[in-house]
Amino acid sequence: MRDQRGRVLVVDDDADSRALLRRALERLGLAIDEAADGAQALARVSTSFYDAVLLDISMPGLDGFAVCARIRDHADSIVSRVPVVLVSARAEEVDRVAGFEAGADDYISKPWSEARIAARVTAAIAKSHLIRPEAYAPLLAEPEDTRDGAAPGRRVRGDPILTEIDRALARRASEVASHGGANILVLGPPRTGKSRAACAFAAEGLGAHEPCLFASFADDSSGIRERVTASLHGAIPIEALDPLLHVVDGARWMRAFRRNRLRGLFDDLDLALWNLLDLVTKGSEEIGQSLTSRAGGRRIFDALETLIEAVGPERLTTFVARIAGTASAFGGVRSLFILNPDGLPAAELTKLEGSVDAVIDVRAFGGAPVADLAQRNARGAR
């Protein structure tokens, strides 16, 4: 039986380097195999399943670039898609470019820290679970959960929403420079797994040490933190999340908004909207998602339909457009906007879709998922 936490192949001609990596990864609960050269590595990946490969570049015979390229060209599609992380003392930009051109998923320069190795390998395995859900037991396995309407035993990894998010991000990356960011609108009725997918999306980013802003208008901040932390399953110490994760307590804002409305305050809904945008902006600045720091990372805005009740559909569209417009300027932020569109007029929904890069309609999963605005618009024009 495969190790539940994941299995990693460490490839390095230096035995001491392999031993150091083995110890660091075994602390994560991973099973480790070793290969001393490129030929051994190719033989192992052809006969055993791995969740990730850590690959040194400078080796006798086949170097890391050549091994990575051969993995990508492998006839077995499971082998060809295994995440590869290059580890090398060569830190020049030309080497990084060569690594990515060979098909590497990540590149770590020596000397490495154990925290960096842990974060990068966790992210690589999480990516493996997104693109090959049928082939393994997840590292970031979700507990059985019916909170958002999933059947008992259904797990987040392999969820069609996550799969479509991954595809939409890949399309966006092929269209613009990587620093351009992406804005994805996720539509669907309640209890269809949208919120669970959002937590998994946040956890994947945090596993790669990306800053993450999470705003939910249905749950308080402690509930969001608990759910995101649960999605990580101990892959990152809780104290390490503090500088990376900022939770905007949208539910608390909504309660305050309703109280103030009853008192005759916040009659100016435009002012209420700017108050909310200011709250989000300050939270973003705390984790480096700003014009000056440009830290990139991820943002999630969950249960946005609640804002329709508060400030109206037009201001909801303005809110999303304002946030989406900062994706590139803040360093390539990838944002999810999650919404039950039932109470949104068709004209406003069209405007909302026009302010993002891709739309995922959960209601379409009975047939072909809709995740690309160009496809939606093309069908609408026929």
The structure's pTM equals 0.57
Question: What local confidence, expressed as pLDDT, does residue 16 receive?
Answer: 93
Output the DSSP codes for 64-88.
Answer: HHHHHHHHHT-SSHHHHTS-EEEEE
Question: What local confidence, expressed as pLDDT, does residue 284 receive?
Answer: 92
64-68, 102-106, 113-117, 148-152: least confidently modelled range: 148-152
Q: What percent of the chain has pLDDT over 70?
A: 78
Determine the average pLDDT of the residues in 316-335: 92
- Quick one: pLDDT band at residue 346, thresholds 50, 70, 90? very high
Q: Report the CATH number of the 160-381 domain.
A: 3.40.50
Determine the average pLDDT of the residues in 259-269: 71
Rg of the chain over CA atoms, in angstroms?
A: 22
Residues of the chain with CATH 3.40.50.2300: 7-135
Chain segment 34-87, per-residue pLDDT in tens: 999 999 999 999 888 888 999 999 999 999 999 999 999 887 767 888 889 999
**Higher pLDDT residue, 302 or 152?**
302
Question: What local confidence, expressed as pLDDT, does residue 15 receive?
Answer: 94
Closest CA to 46 of 77, 23, 6, 85: 77
Cross-strand partners of 300: 214, 336
Q: How far is CA 177 from the centre of its chain?
A: 18
Question: What local confidence, expressed as pLDDT, does residue 20 receive?
Answer: 93
Domain 7-135 has CATH 3.40.50.2300: yes
- Quick one: pLDDT band at residue 239, thresholds 50, 70, 90? low
**Higher pLDDT residue, 87 or 152?**
87
Residue 123 pLDDT exceeds 80: no
Question: What local confidence, expressed as pLDDT, does residue 220 receive?
Answer: 63
Which residue type, as a one-letter code, is found at position 250? Answer: G
Determine the average pLDDT of the residues in 103-130: 80
Residue 131 has a CB neighbour count (10 Å cut-off) of 14
Question: What local confidence, expressed as pLDDT, does residue 153 receive?
Answer: 29
Residue 171 pLDDT exceeds 90: no
**Higher pLDDT residue, 372 or 332?**
332
Do the Cβ atoms of 362 and 192 come closer than 8 Å?
Answer: yes
